[in-house]
Amino acid sequence: MQNFILYIFIVLYCTSSLLSITLSPCAKWNITATTLAGGGLPGHNASQLNYPDGIFIHEKLKRLYISDSLNNRVQVFPLDQSTVIGLTVIPHVNTCTKIYVGSNNGNRVGKWTKDSTQGAQVGSSCRGCTGVWLDQDKNVYISDHKRHCIYKWSPLTNISTIVAGELDMSGPREDHLTEPRGIMIGQITDAVYIADVGNHRIQKWPKNSLEGVTVAGSSDGTPGSDSSSLNSPHGLFVDEETKIVYVADTSNHRIVRWQHGETEGDTIAGGNGRGKASNQLHDPFDLSFDNNGNLFVSDSNNHRVQFFNLIDNRPCHAPSPSTTISPSTTTISANSSIHK
């Protein structure tokens, strides 16, 4: 086994931020999924999960990392589905969500090294740490859903500053957030993308801005189930090349693709009501893509992680049969370096 230091927030988030996916805006996935991990009833043995939250695909190691929330552990499963038995890489973790390690009821972010029994605190304490991201300068961004803001912690100064939202102020105003969870930092623009759960929208907070812009969902904070609405979205992924936002629309039990500048999204997985069938989801919490464009979903209340195969990645306007399709339209690349 490769010897490396496992930084939950570095490896599992810095690597993710470096992932570059070239997907057609009209890409399609199989509507029925394969269960990659867990499934059925919740449980605590090596083949079971109990409300999995954050997930991460590590391409270099060909592994799926899962924050097994109510089992207080981080599990790893092979991507090739060679076994349904998971390996616990971090045990005995309280409040483990979004593939960071929280303890003391989620009021800190921890860095864990391989085989360690305790995580080292990173940044200042917060009341409800629920999302984390690392930028290219190794600044750590943390969402605090209880205080309705996003912190940025600098390893150079050891100081945390608020970069989005207002401390202890919530609501649908452009300069406010309500119970923010999933976050992502744009590599190109350094914009902060936020799953603004309580306002049922995805906000883009440009660098050094004092307010956010709604890029998915209703800007007025109203939940809904139609194509122009979201309901308690928890996870997100932003393709910076196409500016498409992919959303785990948790309480609508679906994964939604939101094109840049559009007022409506389209469902790419789930959306068939709450349920446990292969074409259904129940409170999806997070999503991720592998280097082949396949979609992975943390299907939390079904206690499983679902795999949706990419079946069509042609451009929106298909060329004539005599036209050659450039390979770049279907290429997916990633930098999956490990921080040792």
CATH code of 215's domain: 2.120.10.30
54 alpha-carbon distance from chain centroid: 6
| CA atoms of 292 and 184, how far apart (whole Å) | 21
Residue 117 burial by CB count (10 A; 0-12/13-18/19+): exposed, middle or buried?
Answer: exposed
Rounded (5°) CA angle 248-34-297: 15
Q: Is the pLDDT of residue 299 over 80?
A: yes
Query: What phi and psi values does residue 325 have, to the nearest 5 degrees?
Result: -90, 125
pLDDT confidence bin for 155, thresholds 50/70/90: confident
Q: At 301, give phi and psi (nearest 5°).
A: -80, -5
Assign 335 a pLDDT band (cuts: 50, 70, 90): very low
Percent of the chain whose predicted confidence (pLDDT) is above 70: 77
pLDDT mean across residues, the chain: 82
- Is residue 260 domain-resident? yes
88 in a domain, yes or no? no
Q: With 80 as the cut, is the pLDDT of residue 201 above it?
A: yes
Distance from the first to the final alpha carbon of the chain: 14
Out of 2-6, 27-31, 120-124, give the one with best mean pLDDT.
27-31
CA distances from 106 to 88, 95, 262 (A): 20, 5, 36
- Determine how β-strand 140-144 pairs with β-strand 159-165: unpaired
Return the pLDDT at 124.
Answer: 64
**Structurally, how many domains does the chain consist of?**
1
Does the residue 255 lie in any domain?
yes
Average pLDDT (326-340) is 33
Quickly list DSSP for 21-35. E---TT-EE-SS-EE
* Cα 228 to Cα 7, 134, 221, distances in angstroms: 38, 31, 12
What integer pLDDT is reported at residue 111 of this predicted model? 63
In this model, does residue 18 exceed pLDDT 50? no
Please, are residues 269 and 251 in contact by the beta-carbon 8 Å criterion? Answer: no
- Report whether pLDDT(178) > 90: yes
| pLDDT band at 138; cut points 50, 70, 90 | confident
- Average pLDDT over every residue of 11-22: 49
Degrees to nearest 5, angle at CA 114 with 39 and 156: 115
Residue 271 belongs to some domain of the structure: yes
- Which of 101-110, 137-146, 176-185, 298-307 comes out lowest in average pLDDT? 101-110
Give the H or E element holding residue 277: none
Token duo for residue 196: 């603004």
Percent of the chain past pLDDT 90, that is, above it, reads 60
**pLDDT at residue 118 in the model:** 62
Look at the pTM and tell me if it is higher than 0.75.
Answer: yes
**Which domain range does residue 164 map to?**
9-18+108-317
Per-residue pLDDT tens digits for 33-69: 999 999 879 999 999 999 999 898 888 889 999 989 8
- In this structure, is residue 39 part of a structural domain? no
The three-state secondary structure class of 213 is strand
What pLDDT is recorded for position 93?
Answer: 66
Number of helices followed by number of strands (H, E) in the chain:
1, 26
- Is 208 within the bounds of a domain? yes
Residue from 31, 29, 53, 52 nearest 40 by CA: 52
Residue 215 maps to a domain: yes
Can you tell me the mean pLDDT for 276-285?
Answer: 97
Residue 251 in any domain: the answer is yes
The pLDDT of residue 14 is 40
* Confidence check: pLDDT of 218 > 60: yes
